[in-house]
């Protein structure tokens, strides 16, 4: 009987230890993200980080949570703090995974969120960093839809600047990468083709189509976006934006 209890104890300890492996902690964090619970996800990812502090798959996920928290934060100081954390973790992911496509893509996303919060004079430096890491992510994985979305939005926003603003930017910052609505449409269209149930891709493609005066195509994208089920923390806000855009057409 005593030996049976010892064996049972060993089995239970082994099961308990295996339940806390980094891979399982990542999976639990991913499940929390899918349930729109970023703080629960962060708790699991940080447990994984304590075991594997140089694992880029852990680090980029932590960065994404901090970006999500920054986007949803109303207090500008707290939003900036979360954005800074997102950048820091994504930088670490790139440092320990230089050829990790998602690490570069999430760093581009983090730079984009920080750019929303900083004064105008600092936005272009972050924009250029965003651009370079999104490009690198696609060089490493041509199917990385996160990088496509970021780069597509970048092309649309920069291409939409007036020639006077672009001239001033060039004078202040040197060469500004070329941007076009054609490239924005191609990148966002490919992202939608690869992930047709992602609401963000549909809405961003629609915004680009509107700027290209392709209103019928934009309406189709917006109607599809409104009909899709929620799959991301920020989808309710995106659906509100889609409805407003559709009503304005």
Q: Rounded to whole angstroms, how far apart are CA atoms 194 and 197?
A: 9
What's the confidence (pLDDT) of residue 160? 80
Q: Rounded to whole angstroms, how far apart are CA atoms 244 and 242?
A: 5
- Cβ distance 42 to 33 under 8 Å? no
> Nearest to residue 28, comparing CAs of 40, 16, 12?
40
Pull the structure tokens for residue 71: 């986007």
> Nearest to residue 157, comparing CAs of 123, 122, 191?
123
Pull the structure tokens for residue 111: 């730079």
What's the confidence (pLDDT) of residue 27? 95
What's the confidence (pLDDT) of residue 107? 98
Q: DSSP for 112-134?
A: HHHHHHS-HHHHHHHHHHHHHHH
> Nearest to residue 63, comparing CAs of 99, 125, 113?
113
What's the confidence (pLDDT) of residue 164? 60
- To 10 degrees, what angle do helices 101-117 and 76-96 make? 160
Helices (H), 141-198: 145-159, 163-173, 181-194
What's the confidence (pLDDT) of residue 7? 46
Q: Rounded to whole angstroms, how far apart are CA atoms 247 and 162?
A: 26
Q: What is the pLDDT along the chain (249 residues), one digit of tens a residue?
A: 455 454 434 333 344 445 589 999 999 999 999 999 999 999 999 999 999 999 999 999 999 999 999 999 999 999 999 999 999 999 999 999 999 999 999 999 999 999 999 988 788 889 889 999 999 999 999 999 999 999 999 999 888 875 665 665 665 556 667 778 999 999 999 999 999 999 999 999 999 999 999 999 999 999 999 999 999 999 999 999 999 999 999
C-alpha pair distances (Å), 43 with each of 37, 68, 106, 232:
10, 14, 19, 19
């Amino acid at each position: 009987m005593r030996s049976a209890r010892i064996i049972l104890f060993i089995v239970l300890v082994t099961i308990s230890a295996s339940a806390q492996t980094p891979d399982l902690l990542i999976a639990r964090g991913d499940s929390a993200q899918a349930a729109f619970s970023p703080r629960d996800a962060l708790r699991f990812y940080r447990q994984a980080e304590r075991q594997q502090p140089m694992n880029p798959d852990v680090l980029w996920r932590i960065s994404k949570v901090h970006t999500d928290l920054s986007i949803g934060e109303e207090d500008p100081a707290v939003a900036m703090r979360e954005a800074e954390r997102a950048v820091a973790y994504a930088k670490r992911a790139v440092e320990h995974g230089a050829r990790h496509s998602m690490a570069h893509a999430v760093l581009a996303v983090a730079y984009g969120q920080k750019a929303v919060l900083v004064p105008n004079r600092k936005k272009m430096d972050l924009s250029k960093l965003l651009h370079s890491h999104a490009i690198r992510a696609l060089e490493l994985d041509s199917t990385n839809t996160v990088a496509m979305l970021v780069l597509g939005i970048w092309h649309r926003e920069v291409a939409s600047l007036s020639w006077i603003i672009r001239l001033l930017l060039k004078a202040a910052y040197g060469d500004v990468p070329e941007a076009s609505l054609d490239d924005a449409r191609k990148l966002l269209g490919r992202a939608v083709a690869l992930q047709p149930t992602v609401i963000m891709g549909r809405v961003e493609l629609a915004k680009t189509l509107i700027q290209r005066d392709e209103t019928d195509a934009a309406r189709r994208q917006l109607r599809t976006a409104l009909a899709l089920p929620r799959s991301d923390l920020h989808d309710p806000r995106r659906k509100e934006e889609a409805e407003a855009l559709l009503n304005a057409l």
